């Protein structure tokens, strides 16, 4: 698989990464051994960039990722995240205090079975901790050899600039797909500062696989039960758009998921999507997107089908990230 550069500090990864959240969270019950097998198959397909977080089971996901990647640890890039409060003592539910960052990272390294991670993200911006303190703390961890590169997630321009002035930011991670376009407003500042971009949920939380069902048909614990894009009214509109995208994909000998990932890759060579799946067959399908080239005519047709993104907000209002 082709390689891409993220940021100006030397981070190089496969053109497609792997988002491990769904192994442990948000998409219903899972099997640890299945997760390990899926991660190892991703590596066999050329994926070298693997994304996890403390939030995904408070260590459970990191342990699966660590066990799966142990045989080839030196050949892969592991990203994890800090920033949540699980004690119930902070009103925001967030905690990016310096001591907490250090504690979370040490726990993450233990769970992953490694002495360092390549990328450490702030998972969500903490309004109660100046971003300069966060960036400075991550900088100290980089100097100590526990972290290689600094990342932010769901951050806005002011936060990005302030953090970057203290410790260079290599990558921003935010939801982005054919359905979700808001983050495009930040592309100018990312390119100005030389920061790479990692789209999460690049397949619209599964909708852009062409296998979507109405939200009510998913099991308890699956976020698609409440995702507005899967609810009556929005579901039908998104389903029709996906059907039209599938017709376009078929003319390329591709699937709608491959088209959706290729569209993201075509947005810039500093963009690396991280689709997640538990299916080996889906992994192979996703990997094929890296070789799919879209013409200007293809991109124009996509713009006709979904000029402004999909239908329905990606989070309930009370959980929608606020960029600043």
Helices (H), 122-210: 131-143, 157-166, 187-193
The residue from 27, 56, 176, 311 that is catalytic is 56
Place of tokens 């209002």: 317
Whole-angstrom distance, CA of residue 154 vs CA of residue 69: 27
The 3-state secondary structure of 32-81 reads HHHHHHHHHHHHHCCCCEEECCCCCCCCHHHHHHHHHHHHHHHHCEEEEE
Question: Do 126 and 321 form a contact (C-beta atoms < 8 A)?
Answer: no
Measured CA to CA, the distance from residue 257 to residue 320 in angstroms comes to 25
Q: How far apart are CA 23 and CA 20, in angstroms?
A: 6
What whole-number distance in Å separates Cα of residue 22 and Cα of residue 183?
A: 22
- Is 56 among the residues known to form the active site? yes
Strand order in the sheet with 196-200: 18-19, 49-51, 77-82, 117-122, 147-153, 169-175, 196-200
- Cite the active site residues: 56
């Amino acid at each position: 698989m082709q390689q891409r550069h993220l940021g100006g500090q030397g981070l190089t990864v496969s053109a497609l990464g792997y988002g491990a959240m769904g192994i442990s969270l948000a998409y219903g019950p899972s099997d640890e051994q299945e997760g390990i097998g899926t991660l190892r198959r991703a590596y066999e397909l050329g994926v070298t960039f693997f994304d996890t977080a403390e939030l995904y089971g408070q260590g459970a996901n990191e342990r699966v990722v660590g066990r799966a990647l142990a045989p080839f640890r030196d050949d892969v890039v592991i990203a994890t995240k800090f920033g949540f409060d699980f004690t119930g003592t902070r009103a925001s539910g967030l905690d990016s205090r310096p001591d907490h960052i250090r504690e979370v990272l040490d726990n993450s390294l233990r769970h992953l079975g490694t002495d360092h991670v390549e990328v450490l993200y702030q998972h969500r911006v903490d309004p109660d901790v100046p971003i300069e303190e966060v960036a400075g703390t991550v900088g100290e961890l980089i100097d100590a050899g526990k972290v290689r590169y600094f990342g932010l997630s769901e951050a806005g321009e002011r936060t990005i600039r302030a953090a970057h002035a203290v410790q260079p930011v290599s990558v921003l991670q935010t939801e982005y797909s054919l359905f979700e376009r808001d983050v495009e407003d930040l592309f100018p500042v990312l390119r100005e500062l030389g920061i790479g971009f990692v789209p999460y949920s690049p397949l619209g939380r599964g909708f852009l696989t062409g296998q979507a069902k109405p939200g009510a048909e998913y099991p308890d614990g699956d976020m698609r039960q409440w995702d507005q894009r899967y609810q009556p009214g929005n579901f039908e509109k998104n389903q029709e758009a996906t059907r039209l995208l599938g017709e376009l994909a078929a003319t390329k000998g591709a699937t709608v998921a491959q088209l959706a990932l290729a569209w993201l890759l075509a947005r810039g060579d500093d963009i690396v999507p991280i689709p997640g799946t538990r299916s080996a067959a889906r992994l192979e399908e996703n990997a094929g997107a890296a070789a799919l080239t879209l013409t200007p005519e293809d991109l124009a047709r996509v713009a006709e089908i979904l000029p402004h993104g999909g239908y329905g907000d990606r989070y309930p209002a009370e959980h929608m990230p606020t960029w600043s």
